[in-house]
Every structure is written in structure tokens, then in C-alpha cells.
Chain A
Amino acid sequence: MALRDDRSTPTQRFVTYAALTLLLSQVMIPFGYVFVTAFKTPGEVFEVTWLPEEWSLEAWRDVFVVNEFHINLYNSLIAGIGSAVLALLISVPGAYVFARKRFPGREILFYLIVGTLIFPFILLIVPITITWIQVGLYNTIVGLWLAFQIFAVPYSIWILRGYFARLPRSLEECAMVYGCTQFQAFYKVILPQAKPVIISVMFLSFLLGWNDFLFSNMLTTGDGPRTASVAIYVASAGGERIEWEVMMVMTLITGIPPVILYILAQKHLSKTFSV
């Protein structure tokens, strides 16, 4: 592409930078204060200050020693990984067929699945809870993995199908002329091309598991696989006195990994989303 001069006017720049500053500060100020609070002593939490008298790690210690938050983090991790793996297993083959093959009933089936994207999936929690109790999935990690798919699969199929459909058809045809079966053409040629979108789907369904509260809360109890989100909710609804500095440490520990993942996955995500 030819190089272009930047011909923006000073007014244009001023307005843009002003807007950028406002947008960034509405994000940064709350998070900045949360960060500072995480290093305050319990006594200082009650004062709105931006520089603690002494930087304390007490809250960080309490999170692990008193609250045993690492157990919840581990549960969230397992919930996320399982959710990602299961979403891939279910949606990659299906999305490929929807994108590349013709068969009777294709349209209806596709809309029956993807249509549920705009379906308020939260109401399925009612029958799912009852069924999970009946079949013994209640309060288990597998039960959570399956429940997350209610949202993960339609979303994944939607994203994957769009990407598969954009790959040139000649790739599979070529593979088949040069000795591949249908299936070999899929995994030797199409799957490697789909790396960015597969990473995106993995990432999004991992976050779904990591970030979920509603299903995790409803489908587990205190002695089951309680995830970090649920632990934070329980702590924030704690009744008597909420230990805010401990809460803020928990929010940081739980909230930062997804942000880092987002930044890492950005390259792949941008290849995936073109609505």
C-alpha cells in the first residue's frame, strides 16, 4: 500500500486526544484505586488516599493463608480449560460441516444452534440444575464444563463457521487430488489454516469458564468445585464486615489473567472477527 500523509487538522487532533484521555481515565482511575487499596492495611482502607502510609502485603497473605483462594483459582483454571477443550471438540467438526458441505436441513440446524446465541441462556439453569441433581453432575466439575457449553458452543460455531467459509475451496480440493481423503483434507489442510480462529475459540471459551458466576454458583456448593468468581461473590456478600483490601487482592488476582490473555490473543482475535 502506498504511504499516506497524515492531513489531520489541529482541532481534529485536540478533540481526539481529549476524548482518548477521558476514555482512558474512566477505566484507569477505578482500577488504579483498586490497585492501591490492595496494598493498604485494614485500618487505612477506610480513608480515601492514593498513597498508602505503608505498602502492606498483609492482604495478599490473607487471601491465600486465611481464604485459601488458590483452591478457587485452581477450580477456575480447570473449569476454563475443560470448557475450552469441550467447546473445540463439539464445535470445530460441526462448524466445518456447516461451512463447507451441503446437506438437507443444513440451514434449519444451523439456525437452531446459532439462534440460541440471542436466547437468554440463563433460564436454562432451571432445568439443568434439576437434571444435574438427577444424573449426579451437580456439584461436579464435569457438570460445570457441560453447562458452559450452552453458551460456548453456539458462539464458537458462529465464529468458526464464518472463518471456515472464507477459506478458499481449492485448498481441500487440491488436498483431495493429491491423495487425501475427506477427513485427511480436513485435518492436514483446513485445521492448520484455522489456527487463529481455533486459538480465539479456545480463549473465549476458557474465559467463559474462568469468568462464569451464574452457573458455577447455582451448580456447586461450598464443598464442591467452587470457582474464584463464586468465592468473590461470597466474600462480597459476606454480611458483617467485608475485608475490602482482601477483596481487592482477589479481584486483581482473578481479573488480571484474562486481561493478559486478551492482550496475547489480540493478534488472533483480530483475524477472527470481521462482522
Chain B
Amino acid sequence: MNAANAGIRVNHLQKTFQQGRVRACRDVNLAIAPGELLVLLGPSGCGKTTTLRCIAGLERPDNDDAIWVGEQNITGMQPKDRNLAFVFQDTALFPHLNARKNISFGLNMRKTFPAAEIRRKVEATAKMLRVDHLLERKPSQLSGGQAQRISLGRAIVMEPAAFLLDEPLASLDAALRVEMRAEIKQIQRKLNTTMIFVTHDQEEALSLGDQIAVMNEGVVLQVGSPASIYLKPANLFVARFIGSPPVNQFECELVQDGGGYGLRCAWFEVSLGAEAATLIDAVGGKVTLGVRPEFISIGSEGGDIEGRVTLVEMLGSRSVILIEAQGREIRVSTQGGTTVKEGDPVQLTLTMDRAFFFAPDGRALVG
């Protein structure tokens, strides 16, 4: 199964721990195309790392046909025979070996190449990662970022069928994290090798992934491009998990006023198109309305909601404004700076054609 650049399929993966008492993966299904970069995203404990470890062979799934690479079922195979490279969050560099020997560890074990060839490959990889000057150092002499590069090098040099990365950037500081994630994406593009990247950081997921799979409580809730995950969340959980500041939610009820439709939400009412009204009516008329902070505009009069500014956060390229209305907090985000000040009375207008409607069971209503 050494077909480089293989697709990976996860088929109804189930994985329980402690004699079935803990269900890490209930029913995970994924299909990653050859050369694709898939990000597995979810809160801690959602089963994303367990899924990745099952793919690597570090955990044994409960069902025997869970993991496929290309057309081959590898569920029962030893990790070393899978030709998959794994990058650990804590780098897992071997402390007794220098960087060079860490990178060449897998090739040395495999014994397919002569020493000179291994040496060449290690140096080429190190150069690509800009750590060729660090090869003689022991892991204890490397910074966090350098260590993670070496650990990446150890994976890259194997020319595996796919890379599996388990939160590799989680223990780095913010600036380095941003730099490294761009680099990882470039390398993945250059090598054109399938990659699965696990993270709990939604910003990292959006910036990296060709596809993002959002997981919660042992199941995949949605798979899609970053844009579709962000703009068309399949359910309330995905909508809330993705996006910073988070989506605004209101509990609403469908009402009919004169010829048109509207949503009555606690203390305010917004009008609604007929198409949306039909969808909402079909689930009984009660929905959760979700509006992302950037789809609410601030004015001084004529809006849907009246409120008062409680806090303005200037974040550089945009501003986040917290508004208090009827005891509720509403988050609004604007491009660039803003003229409103804390204490100002404001009127908010919702952009209803970018709003989400969720049925009582959390499912998104789409036409």
C-alpha cells in the first residue's frame, strides 16, 4: 500500500474505552481525497484525536473495517506498516538522539535506502524547513518552534501516504503559531500529500483546511470548505463553535402580519421572506435565529433593535462592539475603527438574508 498520496476513508468508526464505558467515537465517517488537507476541528473530548490515532494505528477501533487507505482496509495493521506519518503535539522527539538522527529515525528503521541517500534526504528536508543549521543539536537545545520543525521533518522525510498532525502548534506562542501554520500549508501544497490536521482552534482550521470536519461528542457534524462551514453551518453547534466573536442567537416565533411574515424574537420583531417562512412553518414555527456579528449594522435610528454600547474593543483591522439591549448582550463587528463610544444609544439592523435559522433540534433550515 505504498501508493504515495492516497485517499483515506473512515468508515463508521467506533471506539470505546474502559470496557465500553467511555465512547470516544460513536460513528465517524470521513472521506479525504488524495492530496487534500482536511482539518478535524472540535472542542476537547469530541473524539478528534482518537479518530486520528485510530487512523495511525495507535488505537484499535471497535469495528474491523473502520480505516481504509485507497482501496485497502488497514484497520488491523501495525502502525509501522501503514506508511502514515504522525506529528505529536509534544513533538515526541527522542531526547537521546540529535535532530539529524531524529529525522532519519524512520528511514533508518525501514532500511530501504543506503546511508548516503538517507543523509541527502534528511538534509534536503531540513533545508526546506530551514533547520539545516540545527541538525547536530539535541532536542533539549531546541526552542519549541525548532523542535516542532524537526518533528515535521521526521514525518516529511518518510514520504508517507499521508501526514497525520495532532495539534502540532498548540504549545507554541501565538505569533509562531500563525507563521508555522502558513508554512505547513505551503509544504502540504508543495508535496501534494494528503494531510489530516487536528485542532481545537477554529481560526487555525479556517486558515488551513481545504476541507474542515467539525466533530462533537464522537460524531462528525459537518464536512465542508472553510467558507461553507462558516457561512452555511449545518447546525447550531457548528454555527456557535466557528466564528469569533461568536454568533448572536435569539429564540423566535413565526408571526404573520398583514400580507408579509415576520419573526417575533422576545422583544423585537423582524420581517421575513416567504421562502424562509415556509421552512420555519414546516418545523412548527419556533426557531433559533442566528446572526454573525458582522451581519449586524449599527445606526443611530430606524433599526430592528435599540440598545446601548457597553464596550468597544479595537482589534486593529476591525472593531468588536458589545451592545446591551433589554438585558441581553449583542455582539457586533465592524471593519476598521468605529465612531461609537461606550454609553452611546444605538439602533441595530440585522441582515436577514445572511441569517441562520435552526429548528428546535439544532438542525439548520435550508431551502
Q: What residues of chain A have their CB less than 8 Å away from a CB belonging to chain B?
A: 168, 170-171, 173-181, 184, 189, 192-193, 195
Contacts and interface: CB of A to CB of B under 8 A. Distances in A.
Contact of A179 (B57, B89, B96, B106): B106
Contact of A189 (B85, B94, B154, B158): B94
Nearest to A168: B90
Given A173-B86, A174-B86, A179 B109 contact: yes
B79 interface: yes
B78 interface: yes
Contacts of A175: 94, 105
Nearest to A171: B92
Contacts of B85: 177-178
Nearest to A174: B92
Contact of B79 (A171, A177, A195): A177
Given A170-B90, A173-B58, A173-B88, A178 B96 contact: no
B84 interface: yes
Contacts of B57: 176-177
A176 B56 CA distance: 10
A192 B106 contact: no
Contacts of B106: 178-179
Given A170-B88, A173-B86, A179 B80 contact: yes
Nearest 5 A/B pairs, CB to CB = A179-B109, A178-B106, A170-B92, A174-B92, A192-B96
B95 interface: yes
B130 interface: no
27 contacts: A170-B92, A171-B94, A173-B92, A174-B86, A174-B88, A174-B92, A174-B94, A175-B94, A176-B57, A176-B80, A177-B58, A177-B79, A177-B82, A177-B84, A177-B85, A178-B80, A178-B105, A178-B106, A179-B80, A179-B105, A179-B106, A180-B80, A180-B109, A184-B109, A193-B94, A193-B95, A193-B96
A178 B88 contact: no
A262 B85 CA distance: 44
B354 interface: no
Interface in B40-90: 56-58, 78-80, 82, 84-86, 88-90
A127 to B, nearest CB: 41
Given A168-B92, A170-B92, A193-B95, A178 B158 contact: yes
A105 B237 CA distance: 43
B137 interface: no
B96 A177 contact: no
A180 B85 CA distance: 13
Interface residues of B, number: 23
A163 to B, nearest CB: 14
Given A174-B88, A177-B57, 10 more contacts: A168-B90, A173-B58, A173-B79, A174-B94, A177-B56, A177-B85, A179-B80, A180-B109, A193-B95, A195-B96
Contacts of B189: none
A175 to B, nearest CB: 8
Contacts of A176: 57-58, 78-80
B78 A181 contact: yes
Nearest to B97: A192
Contacts, number: 57
A168 B94 CA distance: 11
Nearest to A184: B109
Contacts of A184: 109
A150 B201 CA distance: 53
Contacts of A174: 86, 88, 92, 94
B98 to A, nearest CB: 13
Nearest to B93: A174
Q: Which of A178, A180, A189 has the most CB of B within 10 A?
A: A178
Nearest to A185: B80
B110 interface: yes
Contacts of A168: 90, 92
Q: Which of B88, B92, B106, B110 has the most CB of A within 10 A?
A: B92
B166 to A, nearest CB: 9
Contacts of A181: 78, 80
Contacts of B56: 177
A173 B91 CA distance: 11
Contacts of A173: 58, 79, 86, 88, 92
Contacts of A170: 88-90, 92
A191 to B, nearest CB: 9
A177 B109 contact: no
A47 B84 CA distance: 80
B87 to A, nearest CB: 9
Contact of A178 (B58, B90, B95, B109): B109
Nearest to A182: B78
Contacts of B109: 178-180, 184
Contacts of A195: 96
Given A168-B92, A189-B94, A192-B96, A179 B110 contact: yes
Contacts of B90: 168, 170
A164 to B, nearest CB: 14
A224 B105 CA distance: 50
Q: Which of A174, A176, A181, A189 has the most CB of B within 10 A?
A: A174
